[in-house]
Amino acid sequence: MDRPADDDEGVLYVRSMCMVCRDKTYNCPYCDGEGKTYIEAADKTVARWINNLSTERKDDIIKYIQKGLKDGKASE
């Protein structure tokens, strides 16, 4: 589940603590003023995020994925 995305697939990003200046003054070229940076989200991170959603939102996402699979569309 933690495989890297192919170049032709969409990529999701998460805002995370900068690993360069963690617990330091935030002034490196990789992060913002809050010490956060954007990194590519692993499949497990996306799955955890979905699991924390309300049941209604999860059901909507599952329906959308199932419809895409049935229609033979990976994405729109």
Q: If you search the block for the tokens 């990529």, which residue do you land on? A: 11
Q: Give the pLDDT confidence score for residue 56 in this predicted structure.
A: 96
CA distance 7 to 33: 30
Q: What is the pLDDT of residues 27-58, one digit of tens each?
A: 788 888 888 889 899 889 889 999 999 999 99
Total-model pTM: 0.54
Greatest extent of the chain over all pairs of C-alpha atoms, in Å = 50
CA distance 37 to 76: 27
pLDDT at residue 12 tops 80: yes
Q: Output the CA torsion sign for 45, 15, 30, 10.
A: positive
